[in-house]
Amino acid sequence: MRMTMRWFGPADPVPLWKLRQVPNLTGIVGALHDVPTGEAWTRAGVAGLRQTVERHGLALSVIESVPVHEDIKLGNARRDGRIAAWIASLEAVAAEGIGVVCYNFMPVFDWTRTDLASVRADGSTALVYRHADVTGDGGDGPTVLPGWAEAYTPAALTALRAAYTDLSADGLRANLAYFLRAVVPVAARLGVHLAIHPDDPPWPVLGLPRVVSTADDLDFVLRAAPDAHNGLTFCTGSLGARADNDLPALARRFAPHIHFVHARNVLRHGQRDFDEAAHVSDQGSIELARTVMILARVGSDVPIRPDHGRMIWGETGRPGYGLHDRALEAMYLQGLLDAVTLEKESHA
Residues annotated catalytic, as ranges: 197, 235, 262, 307-308, 321
Alpha carbon dihedral 181, 157, 234, 19, in 10-degree steps, equals: 120
- Cis-peptide, bond into residue 201, ω within 30° of zero: yes
Contact call for residue 86 and ligand DNO (CB under 6 A): no
Nearest 5°: CA angle at 216, between 210 and 222? 90
State the minimum distance, in angstroms, from the CB of residue 345 to ligand DNO.
Answer: 33
String of contacts with ligand DNO for each residue 110-129, x by CB under 6 A: xx------------------
Q: Contact with ligand DNO (CB under 6 A): which of 92, 102, 126, 251?
A: 102
Q: Contact with ligand DNO (CB under 6 A): which of 41, 103, 109, 274?
A: 103
State the minimum distance, in angstroms, from the CB of residue 339 to ligand DNO.
Answer: 26
Nearest 5°: CA angle at 18, between 16 and 20? 70
Contact call for residue 164 and ligand DNO (CB under 6 A): no
String of contacts with ligand DNO for each residue 247-286, x by CB under 6 A: ---------------x------------------------
* Amino acid letter, 235: C
State the minimum distance, in angstroms, from the CB of residue 208 to ligand DNO.
Answer: 15
Alpha carbon dihedral 308, 309, 314, 316, in 10-degree steps, equals: -10
* Amino acid letter, 153: T
Q: Contact with ligand DNO (CB under 6 A): which of 4, 61, 89, 104?
A: 104
Binding part of the chain for ligand DNO, among 104-112, 181-189, 252-260, 263-271 by CB under 6 A, reads 104-112
Nearer to ligand DNO, 38 or 121 (CB): 38
Nearer to ligand DNO, 254 or 260 (CB): 260
* Amino acid letter, 163: A
State the minimum distance, in angstroms, from the CB of residue 100 to ligand DNO.
Answer: 12
CA dist 310 to 116, 128, 201, 316, Å? Answer: 10, 10, 18, 10
Give the footprint of ligand DNO on residues 195-254 (CB under 6 A): 197
Binding part of the chain for ligand DNO, among 96-104, 280-288, 292-300, 310-318 by CB under 6 A, reads 96-104
**Separation CA 204–CA 188 (nearest Å):** 31
Burial 118-142 (b: 16+ CB within 10 A, else e): bebeeebbbbbbbbebbbeeeeebe
Residues touching ligand DNO: how many (CB under 6 A)?
Answer: 11
- Measured over all CA atoms, what is the biggest interatomic distance in the chain, rounded to whole angstroms? 62
State the minimum distance, in angstroms, from the CB of residue 341 to ligand DNO.
Answer: 27
String of contacts with ligand DNO for each residue 11-50, x by CB under 6 A: ----------------------------------------
Binding part of the chain for ligand DNO, among 100-108, 129-137, 156-164, 168-176 by CB under 6 A, reads 100-108
Nearer to ligand DNO, 34 or 345 (CB): 34
Helix axes 79-95, 43-55, angle to 10 degrees: 40
Which positions lie near ligand DNO, rule CB under 6 A?
A: 64-65, 102-104, 110-111, 197, 262, 308, 320
